[in-house]
Structure 1
Amino acid sequence: MILFLQASDFFSSWKLVKVRAVMCGIFFSLSASEHVLPQEKTVTWLRNRGPDNYCTHLVKLECARRLETPETTPEAIYLTFISTVLALRGDHVTSQPLVDADTWKVCGQAVRGNDTEIVFQKLIEASRYHCDVGESEVGGVDDSVARLTDIISNITGPFSFVFYDGFRRRIFFSRDCLGRRALLHGHDDTGNLKICSVCDGSSPAPFEEVETDGLHMIDLSRISLLNDTPDGSHKVSYQVEVIPWSHKQTGRLLLRNPVSPMNRAVPSTEPPALTLSSICIQKLEHELRRSVETRVQYLPQLGLASPGLGAKIGILFSGGLDCTLLARLTHDIVPKDETVDLINVAFENPRVAAALKARKEKEENEEAISIYESCPDRITGRAGYAELRKVCPDRVWRFIAVDVPYQEFTAHREEVIQLMRPHNTEMDLSIAGALYFASRGQGNVANDDDINDTATYTTTARVLLSGLGADELFAGYGRHGIAFARKGFQGLIDEIDLDVSRLGKRNLGRDDRVISNWGREARFPFLDEEFVSWATQTPVWERCGFGTAQVQVATNNELNHIAETLDSEKKALRLLALKLGMLQTAQEKKRAIQFGSRTAKMESGKSKGTHTI
């Protein structure tokens, strides 16, 4: 048995306690001619993702000739497993991939206390059981797969993994149902299969995101050689079977989807207004607080001399509603003596710089305008930072101003393009570029309140919170309002359902590859399975204000007055921010990261976000 696993924030229903894991870089290859290692650049990226450990395990499988097709049976199959580790839990670093001694006759004793090991042991038990009791008694090969699916169904949290069942010579690989951790698959020029956290180097062969549709399985006993290869190479042919996620309660070969389906109810009359006293706002606070708590507690000190000298938690911070709300809840959970880093990124956009220069020349008396401090996300970021300091004065908030000159962006541009593959549009580059430099966490921190008196600082946080998912679940995009205007609640529900279903393919794999390149782990409180299930089951009119009644409150109360004027987009989240004292944050407008940080249209021309690079 071999397992390597990239995961975080695990829960398991076979234990009513949280078990914690490591995050890692994954590489696996399958060949009929030799062991295939990753390219040098890929090794660098994998080490960046997991700087604490790098391990390789090689397996050669001799193949028995199939009587019916001896000419297409490979003599041997070569399996290559490589994993890197970013240690975030426990008191030791657990090397991956994990190897079961009974299967591979490898000496050594497993280390206890890590959830990768716990999952590994469960998978071993599921695979070994049918061999011990006899296939004919328990339903044959399919029964072992059913046991494996039952184990995976009982896991929640972000993960991707590759697992080799040595008893039956089967490869299993998968991502969690939302796709929060990256995993790609593709072939090199000679037809060898590769499964990896990143695209393998600069190879032109296409890689694709592993779909979040279920558990993927390759039966190595059915692999055949292709005889018509023009170069005479040993290219293999195989089938990938998919065991799908399902909301059905029964079915032998189905994964139980931990995320509930969308509530598609449409109101028969005008829904009541969302207010500070609405029960759904109280429930929202409870669910989101629980999700944040899961992701910010029990982080190791990682060698910091004292809590005040470095941060364990960083927040990708634009000053917008979603990330500031996460910061506010984080304050209530982590000890007050722990610093929280707020990482805010701004770019030198040549088009904007030229416009500011022209404006300065035209208005001679105007003071010089900082290209970075005039950036929309820098303005809202500093405002959000100020409000957090006001509402939570007993916390040290460290505002890290990440200023990215255009020349530096161009120097890293190709690296970002390679990391975000197979995504390849101008919009992908704009978003990935902002996340790349933000997650590096290197910028300036002002001394006291003078933004001109700064010191260079790089965050020590290995965990970065992101507000991704809030717009999709709570109707935060402009297109949600358009969908409601055109087709009412039914159109709004359809648009939200579409957004949530494609998160893994459009956003999360790309973002994970870019952020993890700096040895940091992105965590998404809005994409916790329990939270997503609560949100998708909550009627849409209790998440946003489209189509709800308007209430005029005859009072001079400031909170009620602000509540009346809040935008319909993400109104439930706005009300929660208001309830927690974040009056300015509750009223912030939605702004896409590429426009807020000014990574969009860095160069002149008529390129659009959908254009390929």
Structure 2
Amino acid sequence: MCGIFFSLSASQHVYPTEKTVAWLQNRGPDNYQTHQVQLNCPADPQGVGELATTTVYLTFISTVLGLRGDHVTSQPLVDADSRSVLCWNGEAWKVRGETVEGNDTELVFRRLIEASKLRNGDNESEVDQATKTIVRLTNIINNITGPFSFVFYDGFHGRIFFGRDCLGRRSLLHSRDEIGTLKICSTCDGTPSVPFEEVETDGIYTIDLSRLSLQTHPTDSSTLSYQVEVIPWSSEANPTSSLKNPIPPMNQALPSSQPPALRISSPCVERLEYELRRSLDTRIRNVPRLGVGSNTKIAVLFSGGLDCTILARLAHDILPLDQPIDLLNVSFENPRVAAALKAKSEKDNTHMGSIYESCPDRITGRAGYGELQRVCPDRLWRFVAVDVPYAEFVSHREEVIQLMKPHNTEMDLSIACALYFASRGQGTIHTTHDHTAAYTTTARVLLSGLGADELFAGYGRHGVSFTRNGFQGLINEIDLDVGRLGKRNLGRDDRVISNWGREARFPYLDEEFVSWTTQTPVWERCGFGTAEIVDTEINELDQLTESLDPEKKSLRLLALKLGMVQTAREKKRAIQFGSRTAKMESGKSKGTQLI
């Protein structure tokens, strides 16, 4: 995990605000470094085709959270010969299908430099060489498997490249002010007059610094103009003009008859387990332990729900037994709920109990924790109860609002607050049956179950779509969800989670896992419209299978296969309701209401 800041200006080197520097250092506490490039570029002063020379200032800043290899690699990376620069925030799990061992940033940079080098033996024009270089560079990016955002300056050809992976798993924002100064940053560095926007996930963006124009105004001020071009992701890539999207189109097949019942023995359940184990293994094996103290490297953002509990259970099979796994479970003091519970206890003359322990996600979290202890008794599981008093929520509210920008609704705030406090990892654990102690996780890698609902039809609207329009309606709804993953909330989530110097990893959003899932017929992923088990003798396991909800049924069956009966039955619950961050201040506010 890293923090990125880049600026392009025609007046001077432009730096982030003091607050942005603090956020960048929070994201990457292991290293902070600045690099400057000053260029004399051809420019059209009046925009009429008469070229002159102007000076432009490129400013690169990176912070680093070391999670790959046996050492921390300082960024930005700089090539002395070409003056090329890379700011990289991501995890290249594979490049060209080969697993990356050691530091991925150094490997990606070497590949980009090699791709951008001038080929002196080619008797071609500069334009032709630049075009071929772009093809080679995009081909490198196209063959990276893993979450990323980056800024790369190709010093050979004077081009800036920047972008995010097609699923948008890492944050990157941009803004351009009234005089043309461009800023690209992992967090917002803007003002109300110059707002930041998310860098879209529709492709990789590029700026040709040889095609600048600088317009001088009567006030002696100048405006820098340039064209930002996009090399788009496409389902069918043209090697000269687009990138091949690693996520293939959704399988649109419809069953010719009623699909068979889903069971633990169904081939799709076995394949699901294989693909999920592979994705998870990539994300949690060989995480370095920096410093001394606890050997806890992995924690789970843990509600006790189906998706996260499966990840915890599979992580147990992968990690050595001497590594504890922390389960981060967040619960809020919601004043509205507290008042209602108090009134009810007074009316019934009963003890109110703990406001935190009565939270829905705390109840399911402790149940899931208990099931993991029962199924995997030789693992040290730490259930970290993250209790957030209302006063603490209020004191951090403005910080969360600034971090989640440009997202700005009440629903954004309620979800972001839950992730913000959960990923802080500060709470209490049980040391003995009756005693608790303050505890903060040392894990730098946090597992999240995000993506499972979109891929396996876990939302209520999926059932509604099937009821109204059958399998075609269900396919269309899932296709819509998967198609907008990169446009929705992953950037927001990355900004609030990474502020604690931790990195969220999403096994359900692995490119290969998503590709397999979207190519699997929809009736093998969920139980809508499938037949009932009608064997002459139905055993106890079959009875459990028949009692499971159709939403995400293949995942529920996997939970059963892994010995977690209670987890297999858990209902879907949105994080803002499970942790009680929804409507903290007004019961009448709507999720879409702007802050």
TM-score range, shorter chain: over 0.9
Q: What is the alpha-carbon root mean square deviation over aligned residues?
A: 2.0
Picking from 36, 49, 59, the partner of 1:58 is 36
Structure 1 Cα separation of the partners of residues 169 and 525 of structure 2: 23
Work out which of the residue numbers 353, 356, 363 in structure 1 matches 2:348: 363
The structure-2 alpha-carbon separation of the partners of 1:354 and 1:204, relative to structure 1 and needing over 3 Å to count, comes to farther
Matches within 5 A, 1:316-355: 316-355=301-340
Deviation, structure 1 residue 45: 0.4
Residue 113 (structure 2) pairs with residue 124 (structure 1): yes
**Is 1:104 matched up with 2:83?**
yes
TM-score, structure 2 normalization: 0.94
Q: d(CA) in 1 for partners of 2:591 and 2:482?
A: 21
Which one-letter code corresponds to 2:254 in the other structure?
V
Structure 1 residue 303 displacement after superposition: 2.0
User: Which of 149, 158, 164 does residue 153 from structure 2 map onto?
Assistant: 164
TM-score, normalised to structure 1, is 0.91
- 8 Å Cα contact 2:323/2:380 also seen in 1: yes
CA distance in structure 2 between the aligned counterparts of 1:302 and 1:275, rounded to whole angstroms: 44
Instruction: Report if the CA contact (8 A) 1:472-1:496 is conserved.
Output: yes
Matching residue of 1:391 = 375
* Match of residue 243, structure 1, among 218, 226, 231: 231
Deviation at 1:411?
0.5
Which of 23, 48, 55 in structure 2 is aligned with 1:45? 23
Q: Confirm or deny that 1:178 pairs with 2:157.
A: no
Counterpart among 171, 187, 198 of residue 187 in structure 2: 198
Residues 168-220 of structure 1, C-alpha deviations (whole Å, 9 max, x = no match): 11000011111101111112464411111011055542211111111111111
Distance 1:136 1:60 in 2: 26
Q: Does 1:604 align with 2:586?
A: yes
- The one-character-per-residue Cα deviations of 1:399-426 (angstroms, maximum 9, x if unpaired) are 0000000110010001000000111111
Cα gap change, 1:72 to 1:604, in 2 (>3 Å):
farther
Task: Flag structure 2 segments of 5+ consecutive residues without an equivalent.
Answer: 86-100
Unaligned runs of 5+ in 1: 1-22, 107-111
8 Å CA contact retained: 1:259, 1:529: yes
Q: Distance in 2 between matches of 1:94 and 1:185?
A: 25
Share of identical aligned residues, percent?
A: 71
Amino acid at match of 2:338: A
The equivalent of 1:261 in structure 2 is 249
Q: Residues 310 and 459 of structure 1 are in contact (CA less than 8 Å); yes or no, is this contact kept in structure 2?
A: no
Say which of 516, 521, 545 aligns to 2:527: 545
Separation in structure 2 between the aligned mates of residue 373 and residue 232 of structure 1, nearest angstrom = 64
1:310, distance to aligned residue in structure 2 (A): 3.8
Equivalent in the alignment of 1:224: 213
Residues in 1 aligned to 2:51 and 2:408: alpha-carbon distance in whole angstroms: 37
The structure 2 residue matched to 1:80, chosen from 59, 69, 76, is 59
Cα shift at 1:504 = 2.0
Shifted more, 503-512 versus 389-398: the winner is 503-512
Contact kept, 8 Å, 1:544 with 1:572, in 2: the verdict is yes
Aligned residues: 579
Deviates more, 1:138-147 or 1:63-72: 63-72
DSSP-derived class of the 1:258 partner = coil
Residue aligning to 1:28:
6
Name which of 269, 276, 279 aligns with 2:264.
276
Match of 1:498 among 463, 480, 504: 480
The equivalent position to 2:420 in structure 1, one of 430, 436, 442, is 436
Alpha carbons of structure 1 residues 203 and 304: separation in structure 2 relative to 1, 3 Å = farther
Displacement of 1:556 in angstroms is: 6.2
Alpha carbons 2:135, 2:239 under 8 Å: kept: no
- Does the CA contact (< 8 Å) of 1:130 and 1:143 recur in 2? no
Alignment equivalent of 1:295, drawn from 237, 258, 283? 283
